[in-house]
A and B are shown apart, each in its own frame.
Chain A
């Protein structure tokens, strides 16, 4: 995993942080999946916000 794929993203609606190292196993997203590579149907597992509601974390 390189620097860009390791970038975390935060849901601006609820504050959930998507960490590519962890993925989202509850929703079939294996660890190591970059945010940019998530299937477009993937939504925030906490509040169901869509991906355009995610902001890159600094």
Chain B
């Protein structure tokens, strides 16, 4: 077997087909300020995020080092190793010089790690403590060519030190040659130290000789040391050329930022020649050393590959900041802001740069030039920037800002829509008071007065919430609220707002189709042009009437035999099969907002392939591996019969009544039409409540609290579609149990079009909008057994739960009342 290391998830060969093996170096408290700062804040999750970035940028192995003065290295490392080993797919390199710490980390790491590192600095004490651990846990190890005299400088000394280590590790402790990764060390040739002019040559020769004289061992090198002291854009070139030369010499692995390696093909012949001259100390001009020629060249020229960076430097910081917001790019925003703060006040930066940038983002979105996920990325940069600027702002500065109160109305727990409005408004410079979900009109009135807001925004997803909004209008009127009310929500239409809500309130009532419509309304308010929503029948037209006026429901088909009567729970459902029931189009385009809009079909396919699918794969992985999803079902079959518009359901001795609405227009359908009357012999009805558990909801809200707007929308959308997928899946399970699963859809379109026998109707949806039915459903199914409870408003908690009444009748399909 080829020498490999492994994480919980995968094995990685130490000798890559296309070398070298890249070791990510940014999760090192000594090498990365960013990582160190997060560690000092005890923010392990943020540390993990840096590791994930390294993984994403192409590292094969991740170096992890938490040794920092004043910290408890062992405690930090144990915490980080635990976290990283479950969330990072690539194997870890345990970077510590403390044997006890190395041993504890190896003990808990669920794979084959690399230890970084051993050496002979202390004459051979620590190496003899670490080698037995390597043997016990089967780890590989980085061995530095450091001896009692210090770091080996010459090839001879490097090779001799490596040999000494080899004899101890292989000879005394029985490690295999392939377990050793020799780091022949390198020193900078960029600082003008005459004794180091051949440092690259010594290292390259040592690599060649170690590989030749100790067959089977591996070699590794911290490549970027070679160029310390040189200008950044020239370092990238020199590091890349040196890496290439080292691989030619036999280097197996490199500790380097994978994102900063240039392929040789991207380096011009002239740049290549200068780097090689410097590395091999080729003197071509008696008056100028290779180093002088190298430095002079890069003072005069910026290599082509660095053109973008140079262009960045040439731009004014005002423009850079504007572009960072528009591009949703967090890279360097702090530096840019600190430069701007030397020239302008914090408030001026916000008002003259940040807010116009967000306004531009809104315009791009409005024109269909960018999609919602990218707007959220911009808002994240905006939020970070404002947070950065806040300590620099005088309190007085924030006095004259338009204030908006946001709430989800009474009885409704859905907050994604309200929170999106919050994100867009607050990041466009407005003061938003987001007072939460399930808010009674009384509380809204009280808070609006107390906070002296200029506008009130109400949100709600449910059909019932539209009614709540309508009914609370007179309350706002009586209380003398006196400010415009903006309304938004899935069940609202401009017609409903104009005809049902507007008449109850004497101030503007405005329908907002999305967060940007809300933003426009606030701007209109400031401009004095905010208008109440109106509805003109002549212009807008009426909703289409169904084409088929008469549907005769025939109740002569056989009633299926239920597998049991009463209710059961299933708690050990494997989440994996649910993913194939996810409606990917609805997820990508609808929930996530990755719509094609103005893009060409090719550009859209690219977006889906490069951005959306990897994100989706990551969520699926997390759903399973991080235990974010735990599907459970409560369901049951019951005898029943219909009497007019009421379904009588028999559960043991108890009878539960389910009244359903009937269409006012032809074909006048009602759910009860699909069930037999007592005279026809009665019927069988089924119900289910399915949930994917509370964990994903917690994770979603944690993202919102951390201002990770983009991921918040993504994870929420994923959880909603996965819950729907579970309902689809469970409905199919129940059709099979009823013996009516003969004609099943072959693809998702078939599920969308209900190409199966029967139908399921979700409570709160058009055919059965009344959530009060949940009372009876809960009495029968007892979903408390799977952790699902009801709110006062009859909504189910956790949010990622769905319920339905299942009809087996072949003519039962979706319809709206």
A residues whose Cβ falls under 8 Å from a Cβ of B = 10-17, 24-29, 39-43, 46, 48, 53, 55-56, 58
Contacts of A29 in B (CB 8 A): 547
A15-B749, A16-B753 given; name 12 further pairs at CB < 8 Å. Answer: A11-B586, A12-B585, A14-B583, A15-B590, A16-B752, A26-B547, A28-B545, A41-B542, A46-B752, A46-B753, A58-B596, A58-B605
Q: Cα distance A14–B754 when bound, in Å? A: 12
Residue of B nearest to A48 (CB): B816
Give chain B's interface residues, CB within 8 Å of chain A. 541-548, 583, 585-586, 589-590, 595-597, 601, 604-605, 748-749, 752-753, 766, 814, 816
Contact A15–B595 (Cβ < 8 Å): no
Residues of B close to A10: CB separation below 8 A: 585, 589
- Bound CA span A55–B596, Å: 6
Q: Assess whether A58 is in contact with B604, with CB atoms less than 8 Å apart.
A: yes
Neighbouring B residues of A28 by C-beta, 8 Å: 544-545, 547
The residue in chain A whose Cβ has the minimal distance to the Cβ of B604 is A58
B546 surroundings in chain A (CB, below 8 A): 26-27
Q: Given the known A-B contacts A48-B766, A55-B589, A55-B595, are A27 and B547 also in contact in the complex, defined by CB atoms under 8 Å?
A: yes
Q: Point out the residue from A15, A24, A56 that lies within 8 Å of B583, measured CB to CB.
A: A15
Contacts of B604 in A (CB 8 A): 58
Does A42 lie within 8 Å of B590, measured CB to CB?
no
B454: min CB distance to chain A, Å: 29
Taken together as a complex, chains A and B put the C-alpha atoms of A17 and B590 apart, in Å, by 13
> Smallest distance from the beta carbon of B98 to chain A beta carbons, Å?
55
Chain B hits for A43, CB < 8 A: 543-544
B544 near A39 (CB under 8 angstroms)?
yes
Task: Return the 3 tightest CB-CB contacts between A and B, nearest first.
Answer: A58-B601, A12-B589, A28-B547
Asked if B596 and A41 sit within 8 Å, CB to CB, the answer is no
How many Å lie between the Cα of A40 and that of B542 in the bound state? 9
How far, in angstroms, from A55 to B590 measured CA to CA in the complex? 10
- 15 chain-A/chain-B pairs, Cβ below 8 angstroms: A10-B589, A12-B585, A14-B583, A15-B590, A17-B749, A17-B752, A26-B546, A26-B548, A28-B547, A41-B541, A42-B544, A53-B590, A56-B601, A58-B596, A58-B604
Tell me which residues across on chain B come within 8 A of A26, comparing CB atoms: 546-548
B542 touches A15 (CB 8 A): no
Residue of A nearest to B605 (CB): A58
Instruction: Report the bound CA distance from A53 to B547 in whole Å.
Output: 22
Q: Is the CB of B596 within 8 A of A56?
A: yes
Residues of the A chain whose Cβ atoms lie less than 8 Å from the Cβ of B544 = 27-28, 39, 41-43
In the complex with contacts A40-B541, A46-B752, A48-B766, A12-B547 CB distance below 8 A = no
Least CB distance, B716 to chain A, in whole angstroms: 15
B585: contacting residue among A15, A25, A46, A48, CB under 8 A: A15
Q: Which residues of A contact B543 (CB under 8 A)?
A: 41, 43
Nearest CB to that of B814 among chain A residues? A46
